[in-house]
Amino acid sequence: MRRATHAKWAAGALAVALTATACGGGGGSGGGADGVLSSSWGDPQNPLEPANTNEVQGGKVLDMVFRGLKRYNPKNAKAENMLAEKIETTDSTNFTITVKNGWTFSNGEKVTAKSFVDAWNYGANLTNNQRNAYFFGQIDGYTAVHPDSGKPTATTLSGLKVTGPQTFTVKLSQKFSTWPDTLGYAAFAPLPSSFFKDHAGWLSKPVGNGPYTIDSYTKGSQMSLRKWDTYPGPDKAQNGGVDLKVYTDNNTAYTDLTAGNLDLVDDVPASQLKNAPADLGSRYINTPAGIIQTLAFPYYDKAWNTPDAQKVRTGLSMAINRKQITETIFQKTRTPATDWTSPVLGKDGGYQAGLCGKACDFDPAAAKKMIADGGGLPGGRIQLTYNADTGSHKDWIDAVCNSINNTLGNDRACVGRPIGTFADFRSQITQQKMPGPFRAGWQMDYPLIQNFLQPLYFTNASSNDGKWTNAEFDKLVNEANAESDTQTAIKKFQQAEGVVRDNMAAIPLWYQNGSAGYSERLSNVELNPFSVPVYNEIKVS
């Protein structure tokens, strides 16, 4: 009896093994305008709502499913009108917005002024827990719907008024001349009424007004987007759709690309950067993105908040061999930084190559002297804090420390201080527990010089993690925002950036590139300034 069962078991296992013939994944069906491409994806961290999505993976989907009042040109990052017919102001505080006629959501509902106002009110309201709520912070009445503590006293922003089917007015709480250019950000997308009526249903299958519609969405594994045939916009999808596949590891995605099972990887893993040009040839993309990496300092620590410490900071900046690190560790997917913004802004947008000057040039002798002039490193040595869970932060932090140690001729002058998870890293920063300089990265929300300066260096700004404060800088930023002429405003921001430089508020390290690779089936693949592929332009053969 018992023997018989054993035999059955063995036979069963054998049968299983035999059925395990190679069944390759394979791309989509056919090519041309109906060709579907597959692309790597990561599980979005937060629920997929426009005002609740603050990371790249969710942002990728919003970029395909939504179109807002403005859209950033994928090539030069300029904010161009999309749904906005016109945005008018005379005083940089009161804006009248006219929404173009003829736009609908993919469920047929018309996109009106109300679609925007309702969405923005929802996004700003504290009770909805939207992580991007602060984007509406400039609109009048924000503190009533989103108080710093306690319950909100209003459910709608008093600064928003629908004045006609396609027009609404916005009143800001202070002057902000470049505000219309921020409206390309996904948080400002319009929402259909189904979002409010059946919220859970909408979340499981979001409905928007962009060139793609969501065909199916299995959380944590795959989202299938298909071309919306009657999309009214000018930027119709050039392919039949995109299958976003969640990968447990971007190394596996890259392997799948080289094996021909995947069409597009928009984040080439650091360990493969060396092989990518050989593996993919011209199908490897490496273009600048609006991301800058810096070393921030804990100004709440007295040792770093002295006039002498400023010399030490400048000295440290000069002790870092940026060129060597970007070439050897990042395989030229980073460019040594010479200002505090990003090249994607362009000269007109406020980017100034070489603004940092000598302070960003590798000069061991001068660095040594500068640090000695400033009284040496606080406490004799510094710890660079970083999170070790994602990215290849350890590699470059060690390299930066090496560079500093070699300059100072002291093996123990600088050490890395790893923290296990990003969440813990962030929580130690918010609790102001940094014992020395720490890794800081900034990915722009919108391509404006304002976005590279104000959130990071303005007194008590949302991302001013080091708590740097400077009255001169604050004054210049306020003046720049009040300036009605954009070019003059940018000039003011550049002056403010000069203050950052003179104080070496943070050490600029390098500008980050977006890197991607794609299969032979695809053509016309590009990354936009946010390092997200411009999916609707991709052609499948």
Partner 1 sequence: MGRYVIRRLLQMIPVFIGATLLIFLMVNVMGDPIAGLCGERQCDPATAAQLRSEFGLDKPVWQQYLTYMGNVFTGDFGTAFNGQKVTELMATAFPITIRLTIVAIVFEIIIGITLGVLTGLRRGRPVDSGVLLLTLVVISVPTFVTGLIVQLLLGVKWNVISPSVSSAAPLGELIVPGLVLASVSLAYVTRLSRTSIAENTRSDYVRTAVAKGLPRHRVITRHLLRNSLIPVITFIGTDIGALMGGAIVTERIFNIHGVGYQLYQGILRQNTQTVVGFVTILVIIFLLANLLVDLLYAVLDPRIRYA
Residues numbered 325-384 forming contacts with partner 1, rule: CB under 8 A: none
Q: Minimum Å distance from CB 433 to partner 1?
A: 10
Q: Minimum Å distance from CB 89 to partner 1?
A: 26
Which one among 85, 198, 348, 424 touches partner 1, defined by CB under 8 A? Answer: 424
Q: How far apart are CA 111 and CA 132, in angstroms?
A: 22
Query: Which residues, numbered 300-319, are part of the site for partner 1 (CB under 8 A)?
Result: none
Closer residue to partner 1 (CB): 54 or 333: 54
Count of chain residues binding partner 1 (CB under 8 A): 71
Q: Please state the length of the chain.
A: 541
Instruction: Confirm or reject binding of residue 11 to partner 1 (CB under 8 A).
Output: no
Query: Which residues, numbered 14-73, are part of the site for partner 1 (CB under 8 A)?
Result: 16-17, 19-25, 43-47, 54-55
C-beta separation of 299 from 469 below 8 A: yes
Closer residue to partner 1 (CB): 253 or 399: 253
Q: Minimum Å distance from CB 113 to partner 1?
A: 27
Q: How far apart are CA 266 and CA 517, in angstroms?
A: 6
Closer residue to partner 1 (CB): 291 or 477: 291
**Biggest alpha carbon distance in the chain?**
93
Q: Minimum Å distance from CB 359 to partner 1?
A: 24
Query: Which residues, numbered 83-122, are part of the site for partner 1 (CB under 8 A)?
Result: none
Instruction: Confirm or reject binding of residue 459 to partner 1 (CB under 8 A).
Output: no
Q: How far apart are CA 469 and CA 511, in angstroms?
A: 24
Characterise 63 by phi-psi region: left (phi > 0), alpha (psi -120 to 50), beta (else).
Answer: alpha
Instruction: Assign 122 to helix, strand or coil.
Output: helix
Query: Which residues, numbered 505-524, are part of the site for partner 1 (CB under 8 A)?
Result: none
Q: How far apart are CA 354 and CA 361, in angstroms?
A: 10
In this chain, which stretch among 215-223, 225-233, 234-242, 281-289 interacts with partner 1, using CB under 8 A?
Answer: 215-223
> SS3 breakdown of the chain: % helix, strand, coil, rounded to 5?
40, 20, 40
Closer residue to partner 1 (CB): 221 or 328: 221
Closer residue to partner 1 (CB): 328 or 462: 462
Q: How far apart are CA 46 and CA 342, in angstroms?
A: 27
Q: Minimum Å distance from CB 187 to partner 1?
A: 13
Which one among 252, 410, 484, 488 touches partner 1, defined by CB under 8 A? Answer: 252
Instruction: Confirm or reject binding of residue 248 to partner 1 (CB under 8 A).
Output: yes
Q: Which residue bears the tokens 């060139």?
A: 211
Closer residue to partner 1 (CB): 52 or 481: 52
Closer residue to partner 1 (CB): 145 or 413: 145
Neighbours of 484 (CB within 10 A): 12
Which one among 4, 90, 108, 220 touches partner 1, defined by CB under 8 A? Answer: 220
In this chain, which stretch among 228-236, 305-313, 361-369, 414-422 interacts with partner 1, using CB under 8 A?
Answer: 414-422
Which one among 195, 284, 442, 458 touches partner 1, defined by CB under 8 A? Answer: 442
In this chain, which stretch among 171-179, 253-261, 372-380, 394-402 interacts with partner 1, using CB under 8 A?
Answer: 253-261
Question: Which has the closest alpha carbon to 507: 257, 314, 288?
Answer: 314
Which one among 229, 249, 327, 485 touches partner 1, defined by CB under 8 A? Answer: 249
Which one among 158, 463, 478, 495 touches partner 1, defined by CB under 8 A? Answer: 463
Query: Which residues, numbered 276-305, are part of the site for partner 1 (CB under 8 A)?
Result: none
Q: How far apart are CA 266 and CA 254, in angstroms?
A: 9
The two tokens of residue 202 are 């909408």
Cα 465 → chain centroid: 17
Q: How far apart are CA 187 and CA 176, in angstroms?
A: 18
Q: Minimum Å distance from CB 55 to partner 1?
A: 6
Exposed, middle or buried, 144 (CB in 10 Å: 0-12/13-18/19+)?
middle
Closer residue to partner 1 (CB): 46 or 324: 46
Closer residue to partner 1 (CB): 3 or 197: 3
Query: Which residues, numbered 125-184, are part of the site for partner 1 (CB under 8 A)?
Result: 126-127, 129-131, 133-134, 146-149
Q: Minimum Å distance from CB 426 to partner 1?
A: 4
Buried-exposed string 192-202: b where 16+ CB fall within 10 A, e elsewhere? beebeeeeeeb
Which one among 193, 218, 410, 488 touches partner 1, defined by CB under 8 A? Answer: 218
Closer residue to partner 1 (CB): 84 or 273: 273
In this chain, which stretch among 110-118, 189-197, 373-381, 428-436 interacts with partner 1, using CB under 8 A?
Answer: 428-436
Q: How far apart are CA 535 and CA 524, in angstroms?
A: 10
Q: Minimum Å distance from CB 427 to partner 1?
A: 4
Q: How far apart are CA 153 and CA 144, in angstroms?
A: 5
Q: How far apart are CA 60 and CA 65, in angstroms?
A: 9
Closer residue to partner 1 (CB): 90 or 248: 248
Closer residue to partner 1 (CB): 148 or 365: 148
Which one among 7, 11, 13, 353 touches partner 1, defined by CB under 8 A? Answer: 13
Instruction: Assign 139 to helix, strand or coil.
Output: strand
**In degrees to the nearest 10, what's the CA dihedral of 135, 138, 143, 149?**
50
Q: How far apart are CA 64 and CA 208, in angstroms?
A: 9
Query: Which residues, numbered 464-503, are part of the site for partner 1 (CB under 8 A)?
Result: 465
The two tokens of residue 243 are 């299958």
The two tokens of residue 210 are 């962009």
Q: What is the DSSP letter of 45?
A: S
Q: Which residue bears the tokens 């000295």?
A: 315
